[in-house]
Amino acid sequence: MISFKKGKIKVPEKLQPTSANIDESWLILKNVFDKVLSDDTHDISFEKTYRVVYDVVRFRQEAELYNRIKEYLVQRFTSLKTDTFDKNPAITSEEWKFLETLGEVWKSTNIHLECIRDLTLYLERTYCERNRVPGIVETGLEIFNTCLLLPLKDTVNEEYVKGINNLRDTHEYDTPHTEVLERLGSMMLTILSGEDSFFVVFVQNHLLEESIKYYSELANSLNLKSIEGFQKVETLIDFETKLDTSFLTLDAATKVIKCIDTVLIWGNYESIVEPLLLDALDTLNGEYLRKLYSLTTERKYRLKLRSAIQNMINKNLSSIELDESEKKRSLIGTKWASSVISMFNKYNKLLEGLSFEVESTIDNVANTEITENQMGGRQLSTTNNGPDDSEDFSQGTVSAAGLLNETFSNFFKQNSKHSAQYMSFYLDTCLKKTLEKTEINDSKNSILECVNLVRLLPDKDEFTVIYKNQLTKRLIQQQSSLKVEKFACKRVNEETGSFWTHKLGTMLRDITRSEYLAQNFSVSQQQKATEDSSTTTEVLEFVPDILTITSWPFQDIDDIVAEDLILPAQLEALKLDFEKFYNKKYNERTLKWVHTLGSIQIGFQFEKSYHDLTMPFYSALVFLLFENNDELTTEMILEMTHIPEQELYRQLLSLVMSSKSRILKKSPASKTISKSDKFSINYSFTAPTEKVKVQTIVGNTSSRRNDNNNNNNINNVLERERINATNAAIVRVMKRQTAITHTELLERVTEEVKQVFTLQLLVFKKSLGFLISKEYVQRDPDDSSLYHYIS
In this structure, is residue 49 part of a structural domain? yes
Angle, helices 62-81/19-37, rounded to nearest 10 degrees? 40
One domain for residues 167 and 24: yes
Contact (Cβ atoms closer than 8 angstroms) between residue 161 and residue 204: no
Average pLDDT for 749-767 = 82
Average pLDDT for 561-580 = 83
| pLDDT of the residue at 530 | 76
Q: What are phi and psi of 740, to 5 degrees?
A: -160, 150
Average pLDDT for 136-146 = 92
One domain for residues 450 and 352: no
Across the strands, what pairs with 612?
Answer: 603, 691
Contact (Cβ atoms closer than 8 angstroms) between residue 165 and residue 137: no
| pLDDT of the residue at 225 | 59
Rounded CA separation 579/544 (Å): 11
One domain for residues 183 and 81: yes
In this structure, is residue 270 part of a structural domain? no
* CATH number of the domain residue 543 falls in: 1.20.1310.10
Which pTM value belongs to this model? 0.57
534 pLDDT tier (thresholds 50, 70, 90): low
Confidence check: pLDDT of 395 > 60? no
Residue with the larger pLDDT of the pair 679 and 550: 679
Contact (Cβ atoms closer than 8 angstroms) between residue 166 and residue 177: yes
Least confident window among 333-342, 381-390, 443-452, 585-594: 381-390
pLDDT of 500-529, one tens digit each?
567 788 888 888 888 888 888 888 888 877
Rounded CA separation 529/537 (Å): 8
Q: What DSSP string runs through 53-86?
A: HHHHHHTT-HHHHHHHHHHHHHHHHHHHHIIIII
Confidence check: pLDDT of 128 > 80? yes
372 pLDDT tier (thresholds 50, 70, 90): very low
Confidence check: pLDDT of 380 > 50? no
Average pLDDT for 701-710 = 47
Rounded CA separation 595/491 (Å): 32
Rounded CA separation 656/662 (Å): 5
| pLDDT of the residue at 531 | 73
- Among residues 678, 697, 716, which one ends one of the domains? 697
CB 426: neighbour CB atoms within 10 A? 26
One domain for residues 453 and 572: yes
Rounded CA separation 514/522 (Å): 12
| pLDDT of the residue at 671 | 82
One domain for residues 388 and 480: no
Confidence check: pLDDT of 300 > 70? no
One domain for residues 687 and 638: yes
Contact (Cβ atoms closer than 8 angstroms) between residue 233 and residue 224: yes
578 pLDDT tier (thresholds 50, 70, 90): confident
When mean pLDDT is compared over 18-22, 269-273, 436-440, 707-711, the highest value belongs to 436-440
Rounded CA separation 494/755 (Å): 13
Provide the percentage of residues in the chain whose pLDDT is more than 70: 84
Confidence check: pLDDT of 455 > 90? no
In this structure, is residue 449 part of a structural domain? yes
Rounded CA separation 354/93 (Å): 50
Least confident window among 261-265, 380-384, 744-748: 380-384
Distances (CA, A) of 765 to 285, 687, 761, 780: 51, 59, 6, 17
| pLDDT of the residue at 436 | 75
In this structure, is residue 219 part of a structural domain? no
| pLDDT of the residue at 9 | 40
Across the strands, what pairs with 678?
Answer: 633, 667
pLDDT of 256-298, one tens digit each?
887 887 777 766 666 666 777 777 777 777 777 777 776 665 5
One domain for residues 532 and 622: no
| pLDDT of the residue at 141 | 92
Q: What are phi and psi of 2, to 5 degrees?
A: -90, 130
pLDDT of 668-698, one tens digit each?
888 888 888 999 999 999 988 998 888 887 6
* CATH number of the domain residue 641 falls in: 3.30.230.130
Q: CA triplet 471, 477, 481: central angle to 5 degrees?
A: 65
pLDDT of 460-484, one tens digit each?
878 888 888 888 888 888 888 888 8
In this structure, is residue 218 part of a structural domain? no
One domain for residues 693 and 758: no
Provide the percentage of residues in the chain whose pLDDT is more than 90: 14
| pLDDT of the residue at 270 | 66
One domain for residues 561 and 457: yes
Distances (CA, A) of 641 to 339, 621, 780: 48, 7, 64
Q: What are phi and psi of 386, to 5 degrees?
A: 165, 175
| pLDDT of the residue at 524 | 83
| pLDDT of the residue at 149 | 92
Average pLDDT for 113-122 = 90
Average predicted confidence (pLDDT) for the chain? 80
- Among residues 414, 443, 460, which one ends one of the domains? 414
- Among residues 190, 208, 231, which one ends one of the domains? 190
In this structure, is residue 273 part of a structural domain? no
Strands 664-667, 678-681: parallel, antiparallel or unpaired by DSSP? antiparallel
Query: Distance from CA of residue 195 to its chain's centroid?
Result: 45
Please, is 223 exposed, middle or buried when counting C-beta atoms within 10 Å of its C-beta (0-12, 13-18, 19+)?
A: exposed
Q: How far apart are the first and last CA of the chain?
A: 114
In this structure, is residue 249 part of a structural domain? no
One domain for residues 676 and 741: no
Domain that holds residue 71: 19-190
One domain for residues 678 and 706: no
Cα dihedral value 185, 191, 195, 196, nearest 10: 0
In this structure, is residue 550 part of a structural domain? yes
Average pLDDT for 68-78 = 93
Task: Indicate the number of domains in the chain.
Answer: 5
21 pLDDT tier (thresholds 50, 70, 90): confident
The 3-state DSSP class for residue 354 equals: coil
One domain for residues 30 and 116: yes
